[in-house]
Amino acid sequence: MEGRRLRRFGRRRQPPSSSLLPVVIGGETASSDIANTVSCFYCDFKIRILNEALYRFGRRHATWLRVWFSIGVGFSLSLVLGVSFLLLWSLLLHRNSIFSSGFWFGFGSSTSVSLAGAFNILLSTLISVSLHEFGHAIAAASEGIRVEYIAVFIAVLFPGALVAFNHDFLEALPRLAALRVYCAGIWHNAACCAVCGLTLLLMPLIFSPFYIHGEGLMVLDVPSTSPLSSYLSPGDVIVSLDGIHIHDEQEWLEMVNLLDKQTLQGPNYSEYKGLEAVDGRKGYCVPNSMIEESKKIQLVVNQAACPDDFSAFATVHCFNTSMSSNVRSDDGQPDKRESRYCLNAKDIVKLKKCGNGWVTPLNNESSCICSKDGSCLSPVQLPGLIWVEITYSRPYSLECLQHQSNLTSDLSINNIMEDYCGGTFVFVGDVISMAHSLRLTAYRPHSSSAFGAILPNALERSLMCTFYVSLALALLNSLPVYFLDGESILEVALCIFTFSSKRKKVTQKHAEFW
């Protein structure tokens, strides 16, 4: 997280010799004699090149900066109190698991981070820490205090950052002015979160002249280990999942989770707005002629498996007496035995759907009623495996672009999009691992460009990462813990509200770790 710097009010003392962090006492000339520190438990790198620029900026805009940081005082005090009460409540609620890594860090030892993810975290941390420390420096400059130095350090094994001020000048500040300095870092992190969040909301509008947003998910990368590597390639667009149109990554993950829960548990799910999943099986209305043709294909193994490129299907029997399968025995009664047929999935997905196992819009009820010349058949699935239809398009493929140039009507557009610019395939397996094996984005460039496709996704991920890191930094420094901002904020606030005199303080700097 990062480190801090400040120092406090009260009687001057000689710096304690056992101090872990460096101390600064004396006049402005002391800064020129301060060297980088290296020891067994602490080392730092001090930066002084920005001192004069930060001071001039703070003094030039002192009036507006004091107003800005005064607003931050109210926000930071509220956050410190809220985090303190939340921490106490969490400790009481989870007092039996406070020593587990999951309680403190939110993840286990199996958590992995990709190289791109690690770079985003590093970049976001640098941005968040810089804004935090510059907030303290500018707030102090607006009160007339010069920065001694800015330092990045490692204390034991923990990295951090700090801004050092002259102790004599800092202790002479009024308590409200000192509170503005202490709260500046948290306030700047909160402002960073607001800017990142607003930018994320406006990104579709900002990129609208160059990108299409919310009309399917564009595939950026398909690793060779992905179960969809033989079906999709970079530049393809996922249009729908089981007939439900997908607009962004959130809908993609929600739909996948719904399908997974439906298979494992089978109850109705109403928490997904506009969707309904009912107990039952997914089926297709297969013409009797196709069923007769399938009888020529011999089942292999124990009468359960089909040859390559074929899938096993079984008759869906309706539980409602008004719904009946068209498959009957020789005596004219419904056949309760599950007859199995080998059919080509590529042909089946083009047929009308039946059965009550589909995730469908609430106003579109499904049933297992088919026409008289067909039967409702369902794919035979192994436990834990899910049958999912994935519809995709290839708008940037050469074949699609060539045929689009010869369009003459809206009808021909639909035909070309179906025949040359995409299609539908069936995935059978673990949908959770399948969904996370792809790198997707909701932004699709108007023209085919590899860099253009990656740019919005990279910016979106960087903004999200910066938002979360800055939020974590603000929350962490709100804790009333020694070496963090929260302790100083709470202490000075108590002095203000209780009208108590300034307490004696040591000149040791505080540090926030990241």
- Name the residues annotated as catalytic: 133
Residues in the chain: 514
Helices (H), 151-209: 167-171, 175-206
For tokens 């930060």, name the residue: 54
C-alpha 244/C-alpha 275 separation (Å) is 9
**Strand, helix or coil for residue 445:** strand
187 backbone dihedrals φ, ψ, rounded to 5°: -65, -40
**Strand, helix or coil for residue 61:** coil
Instruction: Please answer whether residues 8 and 23 qualify as being in contact, where contact means their C-beta atoms are separated by less than 8 angstroms.
Output: no
C-alpha 416/C-alpha 413 separation (Å) is 5
Instruction: Please answer whether residues 424 and 347 qualify as being in contact, where contact means their C-beta atoms are separated by less than 8 angstroms.
Output: no
Concatenate the DSSP letters of all residues of 277-330 into one string: --SS--EEEEEHHHHHHHTTSPPBTTTTB--TT-EEEEEPPPSSTT---S-B-T
C-alpha 112/C-alpha 115 separation (Å) is 10
**Strand, helix or coil for residue 149:** strand
**β 353-354/42-47 pair status:** unpaired
List the one residue out of 141, 7, 106 whose CA is nearest residue 485. Answer: 7
Q: Sheet containing 311-315: give its strands across.
A: 340-343, 311-315, 374-379, 283-287, 353-354
338 backbone dihedrals φ, ψ, rounded to 5°: -90, 95
List the one residue out of 485, 499, 504 whose CA is nearest residue 163. Answer: 485
Instruction: Please answer whether residues 80 and 489 qualify as being in contact, where contact means their C-beta atoms are separated by less than 8 angstroms.
Output: yes
Q: Partners of 443 in the beta sheet?
A: 213
